[in-house]
Amino acid sequence: MNFCPNCGADRIEKIIPPDDNRLRLVCQNCQTVHYRNPKIVAGVLPIYGDKVLLCKRAIEPCKGLWNVPSGYLENKESAEEGAAREVWEEALGKVEITGIHAVYSIARISQVYVHFLGNLIDGKFGIGEESLECKLFSEEEIPWSEMAFTSSTFTLRRYFADRKAGVTQTHLGNYPEEK
C-alpha cells in the first residue's frame, strides 16, 4: 500500500499503534490504521442422492484440478449466501443449504474455509465460467489425487465418513493436518 485509501497521502508506515501489539499500516497524515485481516472462503458440498458435485477449475491456482465449489466472500454477503453464489457461478446449480460441515483454517496464509452441506436442487447443474467441467461423483469415483485444495479433501473425507456412520456433525480442521 503506497497511498492512503482514506486521504491519498503517500505517508503509510508500518508501526505498532498505541494500545496495539502488532505492526500495522498507519497513515502518518490522517492517522488511519489500515488493518489487514484473514480472508474467508465459503463453499458448499452439493449433494444429490449418493453423489456429490465437484468442479474442475478453469482458472489458476490449480487449474485443471477438482474442487468443492467455493470462493472468496464478497463484501455485504453472508457466508451462506456467498457459498450458494459460488455453486451457481462455478456449476450453474442451486442448493438448499442444510448445515455447516467444516471450518478449515490455513493460518499460514491467513485463510479460513467455511464449507456447508447442501442439497443440489433437482440434481441440475451446468458448467460455470470458472470451470472446465462439473460432475457428480460417488465416493468410489472421487479423483483424490487430482484435488485442488486440502480443504476440499478434508471436507470430502469427513462427509463420506459421517455418511457411513449415519451422523451429521461439524468438523474443525487446520493445515497442515495433525496425524
Q: Give, rounded to a whole angstrom, the gap between the first and last alpha carbons of the chain.
A: 39
The one segment of 1-9, 47-55, 59-67, 138-146 that binds Zn ion by CB under 5 A: 1-9
* Residue (12 or 114) nearer to Zn ion, CB: 12
111 is an interface residue for Zn ion by CB under 5 A: no
Rounded to an integer, what distance in angstroms lies between the CA atom of residue 97 and that of residue 87? 11
Out of 6, 78, 110, 169, which residue is the one contacting Zn ion (CB under 5 A)?
6
* Residue (10 or 141) nearer to Zn ion, CB: 10
* Residue (5 or 49) nearer to Zn ion, CB: 5
Out of 1, 3, 7, 17, which residue is the one contacting Zn ion (CB under 5 A)?
7
Per the CB < 8 A criterion, the answer to whether 79 and 40 are in contact is yes
Rounded to an integer, what distance in angstroms lies between the CA atom of residue 158 and that of residue 104? 12
Per the CB < 8 A criterion, the answer to whether 27 and 12 are in contact is yes
Helix (H, G, I), strand (E, B) or coil at 153: helix
30 is an interface residue for Zn ion by CB under 5 A: yes
Residues that bind Zn ion (CB under 5 A): 4, 6-7, 9, 27, 29-30, 32
